[in-house]
Structure 1
Amino acid sequence: MSGLGLACLVGLGGAAGTLLRFGVGRWFSSKDKPGFYGTLAVNLAGSLALGLFIGLGLEQRNAAAYAFAGIGFLGGLTTYSTLNVQKATMLRGGAAARRTLIVYLAATYAGGLALTAAGVGLGWLIYH
């Protein structure tokens, strides 16, 4: 597939992932949950899924699928910038907000690393 074709797949996947992230955020908001719940959910799910794709060797086996799903969809689904805005907002809050921030960061980084590793391992087991 040409570079332009792959770029189009990344764009289509990114649009779909972004729409899903928007929907997840809206769903958590409708349940009166803090905004960071949606961000945490999509970032952890994206970590697991990208780990799975890597473990499956998707990038080497099917560049088009990896461009759409790995780079595009998961790139649109997960969000580092929103995470940082939420961290800054919590830092400006009171003591309770800062305690919540510590738990949020631990869940995001430790959970993300653990789920990525789990996804890689699962993908490797499936593929090999």
Structure 2
Amino acid sequence: MLTWAAVLLGGAVGAVARFGVNWLAARASRPPPWATFTVNVVGSLVLGLLAGVGTALPGWVGALVGTGFCGALTTYSTFGYETVQLAGSGPAGRGRALLNVVATLTVGLGVAALGWYLGSRL
């Protein structure tokens, strides 16, 4: 499979999945950081698994899942934007912004490490 085609296909699926998570969060009346937090944590877990499995998978799988799917699913820019919006929404918002940063980094790194551990055991 051509690498660019794998990235394109993975990106298309990841973008639709991202849209679906945002849509579900809006329907459940969840504030914006929850959808972004969710996709970033899921993407971190999937990338950790992929890294843990390493060279046991063909190279096109990394392009399809890592670059394509996870690249389209996760977002640092929206995380940054939503954090700034929270911080600017008053004293309580600053606390929520700090919590968003700490939770996203802690949980994201934690599930990436967990994914790597689990993937390396396969």
- C-alpha distance in 2 between matches for 1:32 and 1:102: 22
Q: CA RMSD in A?
A: 1.2
Q: Runs of 5+ in structure 1 lacking a partner?
A: none
Select the residue among 32, 37, 60 that pairs with 1:64: 60
Map 1:96-107; keep pairs closer than 5 Å: 96-107=92-103
Q: Residue type matched to 1:81 in 2? A: S
Q: Runs of 5+ in structure 2 lacking a partner?
A: none
Match of 1:41 in 2: 38
Select the residue among 99, 107, 110 that pairs with 2:106: 110
TM-score normalised over the length of structure 1: 0.91
Match of 2:18 in 1: 21
- C-alpha distance in 2 between matches for 1:113 and 1:73: 19
Secondary structure of the residue that 1:52 maps to in structure 2?
A: helix
Select the residue among 111, 117, 120 that pairs with 1:121: 117
% identity of equivalent residues: 37
Question: How far apart are residue 61 of structure 1 and its match?
Answer: 2.9
**2:6–2:64 contact (8 Å) kept in structure 1:** yes
**2:87–2:96 contact (8 Å) kept in structure 1:** no
